[in-house]
Amino acid sequence: MLDDAINYPRSGTDPAKTILIGGVLLLLSVLLVPAALVTGYVVRVVRSVSAGEGEPPAFEAWGELLVEGAKGMAVVLAYVVVPTVVLGGVVAAGALLGTRIGAAVALLGVLVTLPLWLAAWYVGSAGFINFAVTGRLRAAFEFGTLRPILTSGAFATAWLLGVGVLVVGGVVAGVIGAVPIVGLLGAFVSFYATVAAAYCYARGFDDATSVGSAPEPPEVDPAV
């Protein structure tokens, strides 16, 4: 799966154009509209992979892309709101308690919120994919549907692969970003890694769904 994920963003008829557009949008993602467009593209990547298509989608139908991206961002925000609130509360408490005690509280806050962030990332990834595949916003929070996927080894393995791709891509992008003049190229590396990670998540989700929906063998009446 990892080889397929790494090669996926550069497949298709014009991958350079797709990566160029995605990288530019990522550079501008401090603004709401470019960020929504990138998220919308990730939605389409997930949908394309789930449909068995071997090539990344093109940047087209920009209005629909923006709407899908806005919905996708809403899903992400919904999942990260709890760890964000917890971390904000801990930081505020640390600031009120003073320097030495505040530093200890801040460290404790990091130790507490890190598992929350990872859990939100893991569950939110499955919810995001379910939304992307079904096109229904509420599907991102149908935990009865998501539970067998979240407990599947297939999805967990694919999710870890995706996280690894994002981490490596982030490190490479950071190194490139520290180099004068060419630093902007880091955004294109980040976009490439994002698409590859989305491929992993979608494949893992599909594998988990296939395992979970495998038909049971027919019952055989005992011989009389």
**Within a domain: 219:** no
Query: Could you read off the pLDDT of 129-167 as tens digits, one per residue?
Result: 999 999 999 999 999 999 999 999 999 999 999 999 999
Q: Is the pLDDT at 220 greater than 60, yes or no?
A: no
The span from the CA of 112 to the CA of 60, in Å, is 42
Query: Does the pLDDT value for residue 102 go beyond 70?
Result: no
What separation in angstroms does the CA of 220 have from each of 50, 194, 216, 224? 34, 48, 12, 12
Position 223 in a domain? no
Span 60-65, mean pLDDT?
93
Q: Is residue 217 part of a domain?
A: no
Domain annotation covers residue 224:
no
What DSSP line would sit under 138-168, residue for residue? GGGG-HHHHHHHHT-HHHHHHHHHHHHHHHH
pLDDT of residue 218: 40
- Helix ranges (H only) for 56-152 are 62-97, 99-134, 143-150
pLDDT of residue 217: 41
pLDDT, tens digit, for every residue of 34-46?
999 999 999 999 9
Please give the residue range of the domain that contains residue 89.
2-212
179: which DSSP letter?
S
Radius of gyration of the chain (CA): 20
222 in a domain, yes or no?
Answer: no
Tell me whether residue 218 is in a domain: no
What tokens does 210 get? 């296939």
* pLDDT of 64 higher than 60: yes
Number of domains in the chain: 1
Instruction: Grade residue 63 by pLDDT with cuts at 50, 70 and 90.
Output: very high
Higher pLDDT, 141 or 222: 141
pTM, to two decimals? 0.84
Evaluate whether residue 158 is within a structural domain. Answer: yes
Place of tokens 């014009």: 14
58 in a structural domain: yes
Q: How far is CA 74 from the centre of its chain?
A: 13
DSSP, collapsed to helix, strand or coil, labels residue 149 as: helix
Single out the residue of 59, 89, 202, 208 nearest to residue 147, CA to CA.
208
